[in-house]
Structure 1
Amino acid sequence: MNWKPYAVVVPFSALITGLFNLSELMPWPLAVLAGAAWAVLIGLVAQRIGQRWRGRVEDGLVVLGAAGAAFAGCGGLMAILLLDGALRSSSLTGDALEQMFLPSIPYYIAVNSVLELLIVPAIVYVGWRAGRRRILILAAVVLYFGMRVWTYLAFAPARLAWAESTHSTEPLTAGERTQAAQDLMLDDPRWILLLVMFLLFLLAALVRPAVRR
C-alpha cells in the first residue's frame, strides 16, 4: 500500500471536513479525527479499485474535478457581476440585495461539498502515479486546499454575517452600497483561482497517464 497520498488527503480532510465543518456538530478533536477517518476510508476504497478500472476512474475524476471547478468559478464570477451591477442602482434596497444573494449559498455548498468530500480526495488516491498528470492534479488540489482555507477563515464568515444582519426595505445610500460591496467581498479573487484549477484539471485530462508503479 502506498501511504504517500494519505499524507496529502488526511490533513486536507481533517482540516476542511473535520475542523471547519464537523466541529459545528461535535467537539473539535472528535471532528478532526472524523475528518481524518473519512480520508482514510476513501483511500481504502480507492485502493480496492482494480487495475482494469483504475484508469477509467481516474479519467472520470479528472473530468469531474474540471467540471466542479468550472461550475464554482463561473458561478462565482456570475454572482460578483450580478451583485456588483445591482449595487450600482440608486434604488436598490438592502432587502432586495439579500434576496438576490441568498440563493447562491446552497449552490456553492452543493458544489464544494462534492469537491471536498469526494472528488478531490479520491482523485489524489487514484491519480497517484509518477508523471506530469500527477503534478497537475496535485497543483490543482493544493490550490483548492488553500482557497478553501481562505473561504472558511475569511470569505464565508463575512458573507454569512452580512446575510444574517437586518436589511432595510429603503433604498441604500451610496455609503451603504459601498459597505455592502466590502462585506460581500466582491473584489475576492477566488473565482480566478477556481478557473486556474479548472485549467489544471483540463490539462491533466489531456495528459496521458503514466504507467502505475
Structure 2
Amino acid sequence: MTRLHHACEPSAPKSVELLPIGLSISFVTLTQALSLSAFLPLPVAVAAGLAWGTLIATTATWLARRPRIGGCGEDVLIAIGSTAMAVLAFGGGVGILLLNTALDSPSLTGQMLVQLFLPSIPIAILSNAPMELLVIPALLVLAWRPGRRRILVLAATVLFGAHRIWTHLVFAPDRLDFATMEQSADTLSSGEREQVLEALHLDDPRWILNLVIFAVFLLAAFHSRHRKS
C-alpha cells in the first residue's frame, strides 16, 4: 500500500551545494538588471539584484538545512508558482483576445483602448515579481536533489528566464510607451489601429510560453519531494 505523506512532512536533511546557490543568485541578478535598468543606472540595478539574490539564496540555504520547514516552504513555493503562471497564461490570453476584439469596434478611441490596457500592467507585475524575486531563486536551492522535481524546476527556470529577457527586449518598452502616451478622444482611423496593433504587440505569443511554464510547475507539484524517481 502506498504511504501517504503529510503536506509538510520533512524530507531527508541535506548539504547544500554551491551550484544551486550560484544559479539562484545569477537568476535574480539577471532578471533585476533587466527590470530595474529602466529606472536606475545599470550598475545600481545589477548591485540591487546581486544583493537580493544573495539574501534569498542564503535564506533558502538556511531553510534547506531544516527539513521540516524547508520542505513545507518548497511545496508552498511550487503552489505560488503554479498560481502566478496560471494568471499570466490565462490572463494574458484573455487580455490579448479582449484588445483584438476591441480594435474591431468602429467607435473605439485611443483613450478607451488605454483604459482597457492599463489594468494588465499591475496584474503582470504582481504575477512576475514573486516569480523573479522569490519562487524560482528559492526553489533552485530548496528543490536541488536528484529526481524529477529538480529537473522540472530547472526547466521552469530556463523558460521563465527566456521569457523575461524576451519581454524586456521586445515588448516592455513599446507597451510602456503606449500606456504613458497621451491618447485622443477621437475614433481611431484604420492607420492608427495598425499602429496600435504594432505598439501593443497584439500578436504576442508569450501566453503560450506562460502556459508551458504553468504546466511545468503543475507537474512539479505532482512530483513530491519524498518520491524517488
Does residue 212 of structure 2 align to residue 186 of structure 1? no
The whole-number CA distance in structure 2 between the counterparts of 1:124 and 1:147 is 17
Partner in structure 1 of residue 131 of structure 2? 115
Q: Of residues 218, 223, 226 in structure 2, which corresponds to 1:202?
A: 218
User: Alpha-carbon deviation of 1:111?
Assistant: 1.3
TM-score under structure 2 length normalisation: 0.86
The whole-number CA distance in structure 2 between the counterparts of 1:186 and 1:25 is 25
Does residue 61 of structure 2 align to residue 47 of structure 1? yes
**Number of positions where the alignment pairs a residue of Structure 1 with one of Structure 2:** 211
TM-score under structure 1 length normalisation: 0.93
Partner in structure 1 of residue 109 of structure 2? 93
Partner in structure 2 of residue 28 of structure 1? 42
Structure 2: unaligned runs, 5 residues or longer: 1-15
Distance change >3 Å, CA 92–CA 66, structure 1 → 2: same
Does residue 33 of structure 2 align to residue 13 of structure 1? no
The whole-number CA distance in structure 2 between the counterparts of 1:65 and 1:34 is 23
User: Alpha-carbon deviation of 1:99?
Assistant: 1.1
AA at the equivalent of 2:59: V
Sequence identity of aligned pairs in percent?
46
AA at the equivalent of 1:43: A
Structure 1: unaligned runs, 5 residues or longer: none
- Residue 37 of structure 2 aligns to a residue whose secondary structure is helix
Q: Summarize the alignment of residues 146-161 of structure 1 with structure 2, pairs less than 5 Å apart.
A: 146-161=162-177
Deviates more, 1:78-87 or 1:116-125: 116-125
Partner in structure 2 of residue 3 of structure 1? 18
Partner in structure 1 of residue 98 of structure 2? 82
User: Alpha-carbon deviation of 1:211?
Assistant: 7.4
The whole-number CA distance in structure 2 between the counterparts of 1:160 and 1:85 is 21
Higher normalized helix content (fraction of residues): 1
Q: Does structure 2 conserve the Cα–Cα contact (< 8 Å) formed by 1:90 and 1:174?
A: no
The whole-number CA distance in structure 1 between the counterparts of 2:87 and 2:205 is 15
The whole-number CA distance in structure 1 between the counterparts of 2:218 and 2:119 is 29
RMSD of aligned Cα (Å)? 1.7
Q: Of residues 89, 95, 99 in structure 2, which corresponds to 1:73?
A: 89
Distance change >3 Å, CA 33–CA 211, structure 1 → 2: farther
The whole-number CA distance in structure 2 between the counterparts of 1:108 and 1:20 is 15
